[in-house]
Homo-oligomer: A and B are copies of this chain.
Amino acid sequence: MSEKSYVKSPQNAVNRLRNRANYDYETIHNIVNSTAVLHVSFVPSSEDPFPVVLPMIGQMGTFALPSSTDLDQPLDLYLHGAIASRIMKLSQNAVDRGEEGFPLCVAATKVDGYVLALTPFHHSYNFRSAVVHGYAHVVADPDEKMWALELITNKIVPERWQNTRTPPNKVEMQSTHILKMKVSSGSAKLRWGVPNNDRGDLKNPDVLANYWAGVVPMWETFGEPISSAHNQAPVPKYLSGYLEEARRENEAVAMEASKEQE
């Protein structure tokens, strides 16, 4: 464990398959920031036995170093939502009660491939998954809120904020809330490489003759941008350039994960 990592505790310790566990800031923050949809879970009330899990958009950053893109440091998680959503109200209520914030658990998962072994038991995915815990509150500072909106908008497409009608007007700002989660723990789990197989299966000529094993690389790709009817200008360079890079990069990561590793 490096100094640039989350401290292992009962909350974030990966108990199974420890060799796949990782606690580094950079690894964890990179998974969160490259995942289009985060799954955010919370307990709506102590009477309800069911937690809630919601898809949300979020990005990690630090307002203390607003232009920093260094992921290898402690960061906060900023989540975007409508003012009327339950998670925003519950977070506000927690702060109003004088609590540290509203307890959240957030997961980000990327699948890099199907791992198809000789027997179903050894089937798996190549994947990168991160889980972060922390206490969330609604951002009150208007400067921090504006900065976080830019951070989250540029998560989708870099430079997008600068290339839209900004800043948001008063009604737009009032309808949107940003949750800030101070991360108390984080962990990641990763799997890459070729299938594991039983020695018995690998020595069995019938099994080897009849069943195929290997990896199917899998990644998110993008089509050509489809312009809205009102557009007068062609697709901008910052967008087409980013999509080209993202298609290539996503494929390269999946292909790299599919190879045999030491």
Contact = CB atoms under 8 A, between A and B. Distances in A.
Given A84-B16, A220-B220, A107 B149 contact: no
Nearest to A250: B221
Interface in A33-51: 36-37, 39-43, 46, 49-51
A166 to B, nearest CB: 6
Interface residues of A, number: 101
Contact of A214 (B197, B202, B227): B227
A118 B161 CA distance: 10
Interface in A1-35: 11, 15-16
Contact of A41 (B41, B55, B195): B41
A32 to B, nearest CB: 13
A50 B11 contact: yes
Copies in the complex: 2
A127 interface: yes
A82 B43 contact: no
A54 interface: yes
A207 interface: yes
A194 B228 contact: yes
Nearest to A11: B50
Contacts of A84: 15-16
A254 to B, nearest CB: 6
Interface in A123-168: 123, 125, 127, 129, 131, 133, 149-150, 153, 156-157, 160-161, 163-166, 168
**What 5 A-B pairs come out closest when comparing CB atoms?**
A217-B223, A51-B51, A39-B39, A121-B172, A41-B41
9 contacts: A11-B50, A41-B51, A41-B105, A43-B51, A116-B157, A157-B216, A163-B211, A213-B228, A223-B258
